[in-house]
């Protein structure tokens, strides 16, 4: 199950981030506006930055250390997170 803001590397090798989008039904204003998660492909400069970060994690993955790449929402910054019981991030 995906979450809002989650980064994914798609089958075509491109990076996308899940975003919650509201579905507006203009013909029925009295109904609730449901939302869905949509994977939105990132701009080219983010693709390059994330590919470099992901490649640098390969040595951790080969040693069995679970890590993930995160793109910080407040700016064009990538963080590398070691997934464990006591979370810590490497920037």
Q: How far apart are CA 85 and CA 75, in angstroms?
A: 27
Q: What is the DSSP string of 3-26?
A: -TT-EEE-TTS-EEEEEEEEPP-T
Condensed to tens digits (0 to 9), the pLDDT of residues 6-37 reads 888 899 999 999 999 888 776 666 667 778 89
Condensed to tens digits (0 to 9), the pLDDT of residues 37-90 reads 999 999 998 898 888 888 888 888 888 888 877 777 666 667 777 776 544 444
Q: Per the structure block, which two tokens stand in for 48?
A: 């390059």
Strand-pairing partners, residue 35, are 22
Q: How far apart are CA 22 and CA 34, in angstroms?
A: 6
């Amino acid at each position: 199950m995906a979450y809002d803001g989650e980064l994914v590397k798609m089958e075509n090798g491109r990076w996308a981030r899940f975003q919650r989008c509201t579905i507006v039904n203009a013909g029925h204003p009295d109904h609730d506006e449901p939302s869905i998660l949509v994977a939105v492909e990132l701009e080219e400069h983010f693709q390059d930055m994330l590919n470099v970060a992901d490649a640098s994690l390969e040595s951790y993955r080969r040693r069995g250390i679970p890590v993930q790449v995160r793109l910080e929402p407040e700016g064009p910054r990538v963080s590398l997170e070691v997934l464990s019981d006591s979370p810590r991030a490497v920037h």
